[in-house]
Amino acid sequence: MEHILKTMGLFVFLALLFVAIGYLIGAFFIGDWVLGTLLFLGFAAVMNIGVYFFSHKIILRMYNAQIIEEHDNPRLFNLVKEISYQADMPMPKVAIVPMNVPNAFATGRNQDNAVVAATQALLHRLNDDELKGVLAHEMAHIKNRDMLVMSIAATIAGAIALMARMVWFQMFFSRRRINPIFLVVMVLAPIGAIMIKMAISRKREYYADEEGAKISKNPNALADALEKLQADATRNPIKRGDPATSSLFIVNPFKSSGFVNLFSTHPPMEKRVERLREMATDFSYL
């Protein structure tokens, strides 16, 4: 319950930031702050509806993920089926991504439309216990509706960034004198929105680690898998794909630097592993 309240608090702040930007744009450029606010709320609503219904198809196509049946890969398919039973959840669709970096992600707006995807390299890199831990982590994302949560957060943050770019474009061709406070808000708002989105993403990863360990009943196996995946992603980050989708993956597969890590979609790997090791010594979690 606590993690739900924290996430909702971040969402409320993100929504208020969005409304505030719409208010400022309406007041300064349209002359009607109510109209400005309503216009951008409507814009965000349309974007969220599109994300809700079509984001999973876009993601699967982006990474050329292929939906499989049991005969295509019995090991992967049956592990997902086993985890679904243990988690008391509907069996999701299963997909394989033709990628030489071991990783996994889940997508879909709800449990009935969910897809669990694993890269080809993941199937070769992990043993059954480790693979089960990773798949349980992804099933936990489905159970907690994290794909929908993160899609909405990303949409609102993206809309704020788009609004800021529109304002800068308008100011470039306008001779109106702009209040310095307005300029500061236009600079800081997109940064703040991105940081809030990342904070939501990091919290959801912690919860998925914990829930995945409970489902698989093997926190150490998930911790071992995360260490392997992090090492491989550091040595061989993927070259294609959109870094904006990094929050989907269990480990960020894209190359990152010290500055970029400030906006990381994932918690520090050392902390994730530490928490899982602690769970392994506390059987009350399992």
The secondary element (H helix, E strand) that includes residue 94 is strand 93-97
CA 54/CA 49 separation, integer angstroms: 9
Instruction: Give the angle 74-246-11 at the CA atoms, nearest 5°.
Output: 115
138 as an active site residue: the answer is yes
**Token code pair at residue 73:** 């890969």
SS3 217: coil
Burial class of 215 by CB neighbour count within 10 A (0 to 12, 13 to 18, 19+): buried
Q: What is the DSSP string of 107-172?
A: E-SSGGG-EEEEEHHHHHHS-HHHHHHHHHHHHHHHHTTHHHHHHHHHHHHHHHHHHHHHHHHHHH
Active-site residue, selected from the candidate residues 2, 70, 130, 138:
138
Residues annotated as part of the active site: 138
